[in-house]
């Protein structure tokens, strides 16, 4: 889908991009680069990046024309994808992303919002006091919005949805029968920085949040938008209160997650996953289908399908119980 939230200012000549970020590479053509994307979604005339062995399988199938990577990983790229060698892969990826999407670093307030009484939704939506709506917002039938909530520009909300009080939603696609309880913040920028010459360079965030049908988001929860891909909450998933979902996280269908659980960026959950309260999931992990994770657990490695784990670091539940008998 096209991203209505961030404007692509390209195309740019590949040599211009590399000169701008002070990266020297020899023997490159004058190709025009139209966008920067992750390995999975990139196409011809686009640039991508490969920084970890976890993504080698995706690298082998990428359709990108160029890839920021290291000497150790360049052999995994298809012949049509030209490697650009750097020892600062993520920093240079962030810098190029900022060139294409200069408005993706800051999260300025939406100055297009109006009181809902001044919009087309005043007779279509049930709403509380002080509700603000941005331009080009779409809201389906039979929806409700609580007091002091803000729906920012270009957000799309489906049918039969309820938005609680003191909620902020931006950069998001929300499908049907979704219930977002009080004081949630959906679609703000993620937390990603790179040390650079004694300063911190913030990673641009150009993805969105997609919340599928029949989802409930508990009070005080925060869901960050993606960086180069999207943050996705699958169908029939229920999140308890005060849960944090970081950028690029993908949660499958029919999941149940208890309060104060936290997910670091780019981790993936399968379907039918159950997670206890205050569990923490490290970044770039894959949690399989039908997994159960006990409350307070710390997950630092991939978990295969049908596993039950608990503890820190999380381990097989039977082993945890055996080792912690009173």
- Domains of the chain by start residue, with CATH: 12-100 (3.40.1390.10), 114-323 (2.160.10.10)
pLDDT tens readout for residues 224-283: 999 989 999 999 999 999 999 999 999 999 999 999 999 999 999 999 999 999 999 999
Environment class of 123 (CB within 10 Å of its CB; exposed 0-12, middle 13-18, buried 19+)? exposed
Within 8 A by CB and 6+ apart from 19, the residues are none
Cβ burial 282-309 (10 Å sphere, 16+ → b, else e): beebebbbebbbbebbebeeebeeebbb
The count of other CB atoms within 10 Å of the CB of residue 170 is 23
* DSSP code, position 245: E
3-class DSSP assignment, residue 18 = helix
At 323, the pLDDT band (50, 70, 90 cuts) reads: confident
**Per-residue pLDDT for 104 more than 90?**
no
Q: How confident is the model at residue 27 (pLDDT cuts 50, 70, 90)?
A: low
- Select from 215, 280, 200 the least CA-distant residue to 245: 280
User: Can you tell me the mean pLDDT for 94-102?
Assistant: 93
326 pLDDT tier (thresholds 50, 70, 90) = low
- The tokens describing 98, both together, are 């900022």
pLDDT of residue 258: 98
Q: Which residues, 6 or more positions from 308, have their beta carbon under 8 angstroms from its beta carbon?
A: 291, 292, 294, 316, 317, 318
* Predicted confidence (pLDDT) at residue 325 exceeds the cutoff of 80: no
Question: So what's the pLDDT on residue 2?
Answer: 66
| Cβ pair 189, 170 in contact under 8 A | no
Dist CA 176 CA 154 (whole Å): 17
Cα Rg of the chain (Å, integer): 21
List the alpha helices (DSSP H) in the chain: 14-20, 56-61, 89-100, 317-323
pLDDT for position 199:
77
Q: Check: CB of residue 13 under 8 Å from CB of residue 145.
A: no
pLDDT tens-place string over residues 32-60: 999 999 999 999 999 999 999 989 999 99
Contact in structure between 38 and 228 (CB atoms under 8 Å): yes
Average pLDDT over every residue of 220-227: 96
Confidence check: pLDDT of 131 > 60: yes
Query: How many residues can be counted in the chain?
Result: 326
| Residue 188 and residue 224 in contact, taking contact as beta carbons nearer than 8 Å | yes
pLDDT class for 82, splitting at 50, 70, 90? very high
What's the average model confidence in pLDDT over 25-33? 77
Which pTM does this prediction carry? 0.93
Q: How confident is the model at residue 198 (pLDDT cuts 50, 70, 90)?
A: confident
Distances (CA, A) of 31 to 13, 16, 66, 70, 87: 6, 10, 10, 21, 23
Per the model's pLDDT, the better-predicted residue between 63 and 25 turns out to be 63
Active site residue 284: no
CB 228 within 8 A of CB 36: yes
Question: Quick check: 1 pLDDT over 60?
Answer: no
Listed range (17-31, 52-66, 158-172, 214-228) with the worst mean pLDDT: 17-31
Q: What percent of the chain has pLDDT over 70?
A: 98
Coil, helix or strand for 207?
Answer: coil
**Number of neighbouring beta carbons within 10 Å of residue 26:** 4
Instruction: Name the pLDDT band for 4 (thresholds 50, 70, 90).
Output: confident
Query: Quick one: which of 265, 236, 229, 263 has its CA closest to 252?
Result: 236
Average pLDDT score over the chain = 94
pLDDT at 319: 86
**Percentages of the chain per state (helix, strand, coil), in multiples of 5:** 15, 25, 60
137 vs 55: CA distance, rounded Å: 36
The pLDDT of residue 108 is 87
Determine which one of 43, 179, 244, 247 is catalytic.
Answer: 247
């Amino acid at each position: 889908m096209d991203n209505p939230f961030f404007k692509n200012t390209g195309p740019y000549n590949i040599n211009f991009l590399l000169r701008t970020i002070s990266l020297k590479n020899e023997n490159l053509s004058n190709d025009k680069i139209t966008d920067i994307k992750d390995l999975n979604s990139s196409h011809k005339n686009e640039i991508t990046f490969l920084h970890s062995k976890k993504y080698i399988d995706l690298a082998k199938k990428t359709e990108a024309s160029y890839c920021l990577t290291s000497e150790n990983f360049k052999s995994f790229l298809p012949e049509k994808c030209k490697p650009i060698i750097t020892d600062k892969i993520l920093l240079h990826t962030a810098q190029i992303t900022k060139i294409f999407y200069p408005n993706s670093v800051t999260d300025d307030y939406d100055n297009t919002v109006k009181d809902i009484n001044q919009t087309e939704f005043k007779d279509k939506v049930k709403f509380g006091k002080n509700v603000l709506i941005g331009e080009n917002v779409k809201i389906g039938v039979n929806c409700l919005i609580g007091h002091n909530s803000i729906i920012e520009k270009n957000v799309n909300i489906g049918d039969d949805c309820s938005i609680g009080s003191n909620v902020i939603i931006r950069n998001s696609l929300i499908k049907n029968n979704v219930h977002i309880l009080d004081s949630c913040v959906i679609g703000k920028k993620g937390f990603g920085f790179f040390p650079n010459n004694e300063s911190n360079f913030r990673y641009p965030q150009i993805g969105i949040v997609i919340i599928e049908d029949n989802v409930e988001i508990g009070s005080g929860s925060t869901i960050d938008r993606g960086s180069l891909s999207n943050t996705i909450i699958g169908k029939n998933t229920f999140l308890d209160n005060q849960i944090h979902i970081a950028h690029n996280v993908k949660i499958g269908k029919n999941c149940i997650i208890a309060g104060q659980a936290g997910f670091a960026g780019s981790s993936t959950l399968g379907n039918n996953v159950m997670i206890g309260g205050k569990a923490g999931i490290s970044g770039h992990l894959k949690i399989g289908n039908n997994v159960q994770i006990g409350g307070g657990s710390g997950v630092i490695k991939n978990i295969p399908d049908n596993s039950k784990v608990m503890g820190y670091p999380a381990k097989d539940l039977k082993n945890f119980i055996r080792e912690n008998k009173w």
